[in-house]
Chain A
């Protein structure tokens, strides 16, 4: 089955700096890669996603890049703000199934 690895497990940045979280996947058939943000005690919320026919996608301060050859994808947050502090999960969806395999999560702390 699919295996998704995520790094780093924790990340601390100063407000205004950029943050990058990286994930790798194992199943070359995976074709959909969402990113979820989970604030403490709350539900995971989809913040951005990318499909395998696209190499990059941007939404304001958030961008995701995908390298199918290397089987890795990354989340980029620019101009970080304290409200960006949360746990971020990457996930991959194998083309043959609807389920998602999640990474282990990255705890992002944006300090003033």
Chain B
């Protein structure tokens, strides 16, 4: 299957700082990427859909000014958690959608564990 790289895998930061997470599709182009948040022993909650060259589409209840998404190329989307607070501590995971040849498959990154002190 296709490969999606996510960095960093783990980040610890002080309250009030901003953290950037990168999601790259390594061997295919992804016009659409997705950002999820996963709490321990829970499901994947979609935060936003990242569209290459246009604004992201945020799910209800997700603050777009808090979670900034940029999808500047066909292989890279970034999520910036601005002014992070302890309640933002979570596991963030991205996916990239491969749509070539009629496919509609999401491949996931390995996730980023964010701990805000």
Residues of A within 8 A of B (CB): 32, 34, 36, 42-46, 49, 89, 93, 98-105, 107
Q: In this complex, what residue of B is CB-closest to A101?
A: B46
User: Is B32's beta carbon under 8 Å from chain A?
Assistant: yes
A103 to B43, CA, bound (A): 7
CB-CB under 8 A from A36, the residues of chain B are: 108
Q: Report yes or no: B104 in contact with A46, Cβ–Cβ below 8 A.
A: no
Q: Report yes or no: B105 in contact with A98, Cβ–Cβ below 8 A.
A: no
Q: Report yes or no: A100 in contact with B106, Cβ–Cβ below 8 A.
A: yes
Nearest-Cβ distance from residue B36 to partner chain A, whole angstroms: 8
Q: Report yes or no: B105 in contact with A89, Cβ–Cβ below 8 A.
A: no
Contact residues of A: prevailing secondary structure? strand
CB-CB under 8 A from B49, the residues of chain A are: 98-99
Q: Report yes or no: A43 in contact with B108, Cβ–Cβ below 8 A.
A: yes
CB-CB under 8 A from A103, the residues of chain B are: 43
Q: Report yes or no: B111 in contact with A102, Cβ–Cβ below 8 A.
A: no
Nearest-Cβ distance from residue A59 to partner chain B, whole angstroms: 13
| With A43-B108, A43-B109, A46-B1: A99-B46 Cβ-Cβ less than 8 Å | yes
Q: Report yes or no: B34 in contact with A102, Cβ–Cβ below 8 A.
A: no
Q: Report yes or no: B43 in contact with A102, Cβ–Cβ below 8 A.
A: yes
CB-CB under 8 A from B106, the residues of chain A are: 34, 46, 100
* Top 8 A-B pairs, shortest CB-CB distance: A43-B108, A102-B44, A104-B43, A43-B110, A44-B108, A102-B43, A105-B43, A98-B32
User: Is B81's beta carbon under 8 Å from chain A?
Assistant: no
Q: Report yes or no: A104 in contact with B104, Cβ–Cβ below 8 A.
A: no
User: Is B54's beta carbon under 8 Å from chain A?
Assistant: no
Nearest-Cβ distance from residue B64 to partner chain A, whole angstroms: 16
User: Is B97's beta carbon under 8 Å from chain A?
Assistant: yes
User: Is B79's beta carbon under 8 Å from chain A?
Assistant: no
A77 to B48, CA, bound (A): 32
Can you identify 11 A-B contacts, CB atoms within 8 angstroms?
A34-B106, A42-B110, A43-B109, A44-B108, A45-B1, A46-B106, A98-B49, A99-B46, A99-B49, A100-B46, A105-B43
CB-CB under 8 A from B108, the residues of chain A are: 36, 43-45
